[in-house]
Amino acid sequence: MSKAASSTSVLTANRLGDGAVVFLDYDGVWVEQVRGAAIARSPDEMRALQDRGAHDAARNLVVEPYLIEMQEIGGSFVPVRFRERVRVAGPSILAYVPGYTPTVPVVRQAHHQGEASVAPPELVDARPQSVAQAEAA
Amino acid sequence: MYRYDEFDAEFVRQRVAQFRDQVHRRLAGELTEDEFRPLRLMNGVYLQLHAYMLRIAVPYGTLSSRQMRKLAHIARTYDKGYGHFTTRQNLQFNWPRLEDIPDILAELAEIEMHAIQTSGNCIRNVTADHFAGATADEVADPRPYAEIIRQWSSLHPEFSFLPRKFKVAVTAAEHDRAAIQVHDIGLHLKRIAGGGLGFAVWVGGGQGRTPLLAKKIRDDLPEADLLSYLEAVLRVYNLHGRRDNKYKARIKILVHEVGAEPFAAEVEAEWRRIRDGALKLPAEEIGRIDAYFAPPAFDPRPARAELRLPDRAFERWAARNTHTHKQPGYAVVTISLKPVGGIPGDASAAQMDVVADLAERHSFDEVRVSHEQNLVLPHVRIEDLHAVYAALKAAGLAEGNAGLATDIIACPGLDYCALANARSIPISQRISERLAPRQDEIGDLKIKISGCINACGHHHVGHIGILGVEKRGEEHYQLLLGGSGSEDASLAAITGPGFGPEGIVDAVEKVVDTYLRLRTDPGEPFLAAYGRLGPAPFKEALYVAA
């Protein structure tokens, strides 16, 4: 797992069964869109994400979880490194691939038994205050 | 073509069953990723930037129509409709689900293919001249020897955990199309003293972060001694190769540090001990394997004196994409997987089916994969060339650019690869589009692009090489000039400061413009001009001129 980033980060991994790139959301669910990813803004929050990633890797839900450093541009969060921007967006050349046919992702997490008896580490809710307060209201 | 015997078939079948069980245990949580990773890698399964990737071995780049159709079927059924032919004559699928891979391997086993030893620190798929068995300039078909090496090296108990991966390439022509001098072992099949067949043995070549050209340590190895000599080389490497630092673990580092002569002396000492043992190749066994590669039943009718040229586009394609066959009346056809602005090495399932049909109808059921990421129909009657061209054109496969500036090698780069630092494919696309209008004027030019220092795109041996790096989190590209992977092998040199993604395309064009301006005549190849002029005028164009 990568070192904790200094600013804001999201946690990514590959789903075990099909290898799809996934991101951990605020509910502890691995989702395919970075838009819903939980954003960690402090070392404690990053550790919480990492702990959850290690837990879910041990349960065989995902493979090789690591933090991606993000930066806010124009109100949206995008990865700092170009490499991670490609990971988030997918290959840049799919429009040129001969015969390319996007397939519907199949979620088979239910097939993976893992260590269900171990409670997952709690996620720190690092949503921006305005979002958290609005949902609470 | 070689056909599996009972041992081969049972071995591959058992391996599929074994891996199916391992995948099942992984998905059930009985194996951790740390436990599973080496098992999946032994079966060619990588975890890349976006998904799993399955690398399938194409031994010495030879496929039958049936095998090609099965690859098309797998692309449609288990992947996203296409495959990627690699610089090691293999095929990669970029999107397989782990849970489907045992089924894919079972389908491959049906047509005598597998993914074993396409990863890991073992002897990898043996590569060969993609024109082998067809070209007029070889002394014999080198593929029987590649097959003998494949059988010897498959699950070789002593060499399954080498210090690092190990790549062997074989050619039988003076013009080296297999890049043997940048392989761990390069073998040149030739006539030796006494008139028999034997090998020049080159050891310690490779690209990657420390590019080195191989050293010839023997020039007259009798064919009967091939395996014992290879075993001796591997033993010396296995004994002395570094295991403490993966970046210094390849045999090239050992040969470089020890010196070619002391290394060869140790190999010879070991070889003398074992050369008359079990690995001695009886002539009957060589003959038995050789029979699988017997020339097809060529039509003995003489070719028409003159090839009809129905259109200019065909004429241009035939001039660029055919090669002289050893059998009069036949030609070797290169099917370019480099459409202008396209993705080097990619083919759709439908295109694979077209190639399989053409091979069946016009090329004695054979297809080759070249390390330059093209396909080859090795045995096409000259009279059938136009029909082949028409079918290729309908499938979008009739680019007449073999060996030209748009016939670019590019690794998958950051668009797919977890190790990459920068994208290779989009750079190749932009260069292809930029140079396409002038490619006939430019003539032969090898441009090779890698997205990281591992050099899968062979940038060290490009006439023009490009290496993608990461600089402050962004893509950046170094430019190299003067490399060759052929019999005149040389390593390209970095020109100077690198360029951004747009700048590198301009930089390549400046190099080409400089070459066109300063070459003595259109017949002076790029490497000859670069050798004559040196790097100075190119650097001036890149860094000094406004």
Is the pLDDT reported for residue A4 higher than 60?
A: no
Q: Does residue B172 lie within any of the structural domains?
A: yes
pLDDT at B353: 98
Q: Does residue A98 lie within any of the structural domains?
A: no
pLDDT at B545: 75
Residue B104, phi then psi, degrees to nearest 5 = -60, -45
Indicate the helix (H) or strand (E) that contains B188: strand B185-191
Do B389 and B254 belong to one domain?
no
Give Cα separations from B355 to B177, B333, B339, B389 (angstroms). 22, 11, 16, 11
Count Cβ atoms below 10 Å from residue B247 Cβ, excluding itself: 12
Is the pLDDT reported for residue A11 higher than 60?
A: yes
Residues of A with CB below 8 A from B99's CB?
Answer: 17-18, 108, 111
Residue of B nearest to A102 (CA): B80
Is the pLDDT reported for residue A102 higher than 80?
A: yes
Which member of A14, A18, A82 has the closest CB to residue B474? Answer: A82
Query: Looking at B290, B320, B344, which one is the last position of a domain?
Result: B290
Q: Does residue A74 lie within any of the structural domains?
A: yes
Query: Looking at B333, B366, B394, which one is the last position of a domain?
Result: B394
Which member of A81, A86, A100 has the closest CB to residue B80? Answer: A100
CATH number at residue B34: 3.90.480.20
Show Cβ contacts of residue B443 under 8 Å, excluding neighbours closer than 6 positions.
B404, B522, B525, B526
Q: Does residue A43 lie within any of the structural domains?
A: yes
Q: Give CA–CA dist B299/A22, Å, rounded.
A: 57
Contact between chains at A64 and B47 (C-beta distance less than 8 A)? yes
* Among B475-479, B531-535, B542-546, the least confident range: B542-546
Using a CB–CB cutoff of 8 Å, tell me whether A95 touches chain B. no
Do B195 and B319 belong to one domain?
no
* Among B74-78, B301-305, B460-464, the least confident range: B301-305
Contact between chains at B99 and A92 (C-beta distance less than 8 A)? no
Do B528 and B437 belong to one domain?
yes
Residue of A nearest to B425 (CA): A93
- Contact at 8 Å (CB) between B364 and B134? no
Q: Does residue B404 lie within any of the structural domains?
A: no
Do B414 and B537 belong to one domain?
yes
Overall domain count for chain A: 1
Q: Does residue A1 lie within any of the structural domains?
A: no
- Contact at 8 Å (CB) between B431 and B396? no
pLDDT classification of A116: cutoffs 50, 70, 90 = very low
pLDDT at B4: 87
Query: Looking at B369, B394, B419, which one is the last position of a domain?
Result: B394
Do B168 and B280 belong to one domain?
yes
Q: Which of residues 346-385 of B touch A (CB under 8 A)?
A: 346-351
Q: Does residue B1 lie within any of the structural domains?
A: no
Give the pairing type, strands B127-128 and B168-171: parallel
Do B279 and B150 belong to one domain?
yes
Residue range B380-410, pLDDT digits in tens: 999 999 999 999 999 999 999 999 999 999 9
Residue range B164-201, pLDDT digits in tens: 999 999 999 999 999 999 999 999 999 999 999 999 99
Residue of A nearest to B51 (CA): A19
Using a CB–CB cutoff of 8 Å, tell me whether B124 touches chain A. no
pLDDT at B50: 96
Q: What is the mean pLDDT of chain B?
A: 96
Using a CB–CB cutoff of 8 Å, tell me whether A20 touches chain B. yes
Provide the domain limits for residue A81.
8-91+104-136
Q: Does residue A99 lie within any of the structural domains?
A: no
Shortest Cα–Cα distance, A122 to chain B (Å): 22
Residue of B nearest to A113 (CA): B28
Is the pLDDT reported for residue A5 higher than 70?
A: no
Is the pLDDT reported for residue A126 higher than 80?
A: no
Q: What integer is the mean pLDDT of A118-133?
A: 55
pLDDT at B301: 77
SS3 of residue B397 by DSSP:
coil
Residue of B nearest to A103 (CA): B80
Which member of A21, A82, A96 has the closest CB to residue B475? Answer: A82
Contact between chains at A91 and B422 (C-beta distance less than 8 A)? no
Overall domain count for chain B: 4
* Among A45-59, A84-98, B117-131, B293-307, the least confident range: B293-307
Residue range B24-35, pLDDT digits in tens: 999 999 999 999
Residue of A nearest to B25 (CA): A112
pLDDT classification of A112: cutoffs 50, 70, 90 = very low
Q: Does residue B298 lie within any of the structural domains?
A: no
Q: Which residues pair with B471 in a beta bridge?
A: B474
Q: Does residue A96 lie within any of the structural domains?
A: no
Is the pLDDT reported for residue B80 higher than 80?
A: yes
Do B353 and B253 belong to one domain?
no
Do B329 and B382 belong to one domain?
yes
Q: Does residue B263 lie within any of the structural domains?
A: yes
Selection from B344, B361, B357 nearest residue B399 by Cα: B344
Is the pLDDT reported for residue B526 higher than 90?
A: yes
First to last CA, chain B: 57
Which member of B81, B396, B473 has the closest CB to residue A81? Answer: B473
Do B148 and B284 belong to one domain?
yes
Contact between chains at A16 and B52 (C-beta distance less than 8 A)? no
Q: Does residue B501 lie within any of the structural domains?
A: yes
Residue of A nearest to B54 (CA): A19
Residues of A with CB below 8 A from B420's CB?
Answer: 83
Q: Does residue A46 lie within any of the structural domains?
A: yes
Give Cα separations from A50 to A2, A61, B50 (angstroms). 9, 14, 20
Q: Does residue B354 lie within any of the structural domains?
A: yes
Provide the domain limits for residue B227.
142-290
Read off the tokens for B32: 């951790």
CATH number at residue B422: 3.30.413.10
Q: What integer is the mean pLDDT of B57-83?
A: 97
Is the pLDDT reported for residue A133 higher than 90?
A: no
Using a CB–CB cutoff of 8 Å, tell me whether A97 touches chain B. yes
Q: What percent of chain B has pLDDT over 90?
A: 95
Residues of B with CB below 8 A from A16's CB?
Answer: 26-27, 98
Do B355 and B462 belong to one domain?
no
Do B146 and B252 belong to one domain?
yes
Using a CB–CB cutoff of 8 Å, tell me whether A110 touches chain B. no
Do B319 and B286 belong to one domain?
no
pLDDT classification of B449: cutoffs 50, 70, 90 = very high
Q: Does residue A59 lie within any of the structural domains?
A: yes
pLDDT classification of B311: cutoffs 50, 70, 90 = confident
Q: Does residue B71 lie within any of the structural domains?
A: yes
pLDDT at A75: 85
**Pairs across A and B, CB distance < 8 A:** 120
Shortest Cα–Cα distance, A9 to chain B (Å): 15
pLDDT at B223: 97
Residues of B with CB below 8 A from A23's CB?
Answer: none
Is the pLDDT reported for residue B471 higher than 70?
A: yes
pLDDT at B160: 92
pLDDT at A130: 41
Q: What integer is the mean pLDDT of A97-125?
A: 60
- Contact at 8 Å (CB) between A76 and A36? no
